[in-house]
Amino acid sequence: MFDYKYLTFAKVVGMRYTDDMSGKPIHAALGLLIAISVIVAATAQKSSDPIAVKAIAEVEQATHEHGRDANKLAAADRVVSGDAVIYTLEVRNTAATTVPPPTVTYPVPDHMVYTADSAVGPATQITYSVDGGRSFNVPENLTIAEPGGELRPATAADYTHIRWQLKNALKSNSVAFVRFRARVK
């Protein structure tokens, strides 16, 4: 006869169940200790950064409501080449205290091309990267090295990352929103 409670625990910690589980409580306790350590370490790592960023991808859809034409945002579940997608980043302070002005960096998705001058955010300084997020600058200072070594001014299609530096502290449990547009390649 075996104890179902032990069987369930064995599944959780990845142990194999056998009919003869005598002498295994030490292994079970060790497995539990390891599992708890991993959970505590993961929780500690998550809580070290009080800023949580959630990205929402949407597309504009033309609607006709109450006798008027209007545009409405809908989830970007299905997009095809050429579609414009609006990315809204929800920047949330999850800490119990106010945090200094945060910096949010977001990559332009691989299958997308950034739309020029579309990044916005109230009270933010916006900079861009053309080197995979290693360095950032304003558009007029960004350059791309051509195969022959010559430099040319970067275009919006060259941007790999966008960075918003908020100018104001973010109060506890408050949210700031930043946004940009990109087109499906």
Q: How far apart are the first and last CA of the chain?
A: 61
Q: How far are the Cα atoms of 17, 62, 169 from residue 70, in angstroms, in the given order?
A: 61, 6, 36
Identify the residue with better confidence: 172 or 61: 172
Instruction: Give percent above pLDDT 70 in the chain.
Output: 75
Q: b/e per residue, 39-75, with b = 16+ CB within 10 A? A: eeeeeeeeeeebbeeeeeebbbeeeeeeeeeeeeeee
What integer pLDDT is reported at residue 181 of this predicted model? 97
Half-sphere exposure of 121 (CA within 13 A, CB side): 28
Highest mean pLDDT among 19-28, 74-83, 95-104: 95-104
Q: Over 50: is that where the pLDDT of 33 sits?
A: no
CB 91 within 8 A of CB 163: no
More reliable by pLDDT, 26 or 104: 104
pLDDT digits (tens, 9 = 90+) for 134-146: 999 999 999 999 9
Q: Note the pLDDT of residue 155.
A: 98
Rounded to whole angstroms, the Cα distance separating 80 from 92 reads 31
Mean pLDDT in residue range 98-120: 97
CA atoms of 14 and 8, how far apart (whole Å): 10
Taking the C-alpha atoms of residue 41 and residue 44, their distance in angstroms, rounded to an integer, is 5
Task: Please list, in sequence order, all residues whose beta carbon lies within 8 angstroms of the beta carbon of residue 118, skipping any fewer than 6 positions away.
Answer: 179, 180, 181, 182
pLDDT at 23: 47
Q: What is the CB neighbour count within 10 angstroms for residue 158?
A: 19
Confidence of residue 70 (pLDDT cuts 50, 70, 90): confident
Q: What is the pLDDT of residue 127?
A: 98
* Structure confidence at residue 175 (pLDDT): 97
Given a cut of 70, whether residue 44 has pLDDT beyond it is no
d(CA 87, CA 83): 13
The tokens of 172 are what?
Answer: 């506890």
